[in-house]
Amino acid sequence: MDSITSRRLPEVDILQVLRDASDVWEELRGQTIFVTGATGFVGRWMLSSLQAADRSYGLGVRVVALSRYPERFRREHPHLGAWPALTWKRGSVATLGPEVLEGRVDLAIHLATEADLGATLADPSAATEVIAGGTLRTLQVASRAGARRILFTSSGSVYGPQPSGLLSFSEDWPLPAHAPGARDARGIGAEGKRLAEAHCTDFFQRRAIDTVIARCFSFSGPGIPLSGKFAFGNFLRDALAGRRVAVKGDGTTVRSYLYGSDLSSWLWRLLLRGTAGRTYNVGSEHALSLMDLAEMVARELGAPGVDIGQARRPGEPTDRYVPSTLRARTELGLRESVGIHAAIRKTADWLCD
């Protein structure tokens, strides 16, 4: 079923992004945008919505996208591959140099990260270098090419474990210092993101480059991977295959899921309207346990039931990972328009179409 995700994102959702961000598209007229990590879930939503805006408003944008495998992306997404405004550069942020950008760029969106949990655990220093070092190289290359604003997608994991009793993280929550000793992939990645954020802050303060940081949480919607660490995708995969929905843990883990169209419109607004040097949480405030999500998916899609992988250990704290988005809502007027029930149904319909 993973191969199905190569199809176009739903037109109705892309049109929703155009409406939600209707007052910012004009700011992209004639602009050149450098994008790293353009082939992932977030990148695909950003490219698809920008392509639609370019065609709808005649923006005349130019996009330079960095990818290790551009040919594969063009083959799997021919509608984006045929977009004349989009130029691919083969490469990685791990080895990014100034030669990747041959002319001037106006804006940059840095989405690339180390997403392979196995690789992160196998070589933590290399993963940190991809995340933090890759961010520094992206900042250097983009600023040398003239970029005036850079959006960096960080992660809510920078906050560390959510304390018991804290319902949501706000952006002013103090970030933890490096904790020595054994760490899991999430902790290693979080440390890399904290270092990457520091690079963004340094560029803003020392080089007068307008950097905006988006701390991203959990997401849902068409294009979400159906395997690996993405519970939303895993649960839909099981249910659509007619199997019982499998929860690997004890089901008490708490997450919240922002739909792809909301995510895309939020990031466009952050790039163009976010306060320079500022950090914004990006996610949903509507929290639910993985058990609740699994049961919801099973009911919505007619799966025969839910299986819990392990029993809860007495005294173990709840793994909670939920943002406060008050800053984004009050400063930029951002809102969540697609709830979790609609997200499940819309994603399933897209997968089965």
Write down the pLDDT at residue 2: 46
Domain 2-220+258-284+323-337 belongs to what topology?
A: Rossmann fold (3.40.50)
pLDDT at 228: 84
User: Is residue 156 within 8 Å of 172, Cβ to Cβ?
Assistant: no
Q: At which residue do the structure tokens 């040919």 appear?
A: 71
DSSP H or E segment with residue 49: helix 41-57
Give the residues of the chain that fall short of pLDDT 50.
1-2, 180-182
pLDDT of residue 218: 97
**Angle made by CA atoms 183, 184, 187, in degrees to the nearest 5:** 75
Which pLDDT tens digit goes with each residue over 213-233? Answer: 999 999 999 999 998 889 999
The confidence score (pLDDT) of residue 10 equals: 97
Cα–Cα distance, 178 to 201 (Å, whole number): 18
Percent above pLDDT 70 for the chain: 96
pTM (two decimals): 0.95
Tell me what pLDDT residue 182 has.
47
Where does residue 95 fall: left (phi above 0), alpha (psi -120 to 50 degrees), or beta otherwise? Answer: alpha
3-class DSSP assignment, residue 240: helix
Single-letter residue type at 282: V
CB-hemisphere CA count at 13 Å for 261?
23
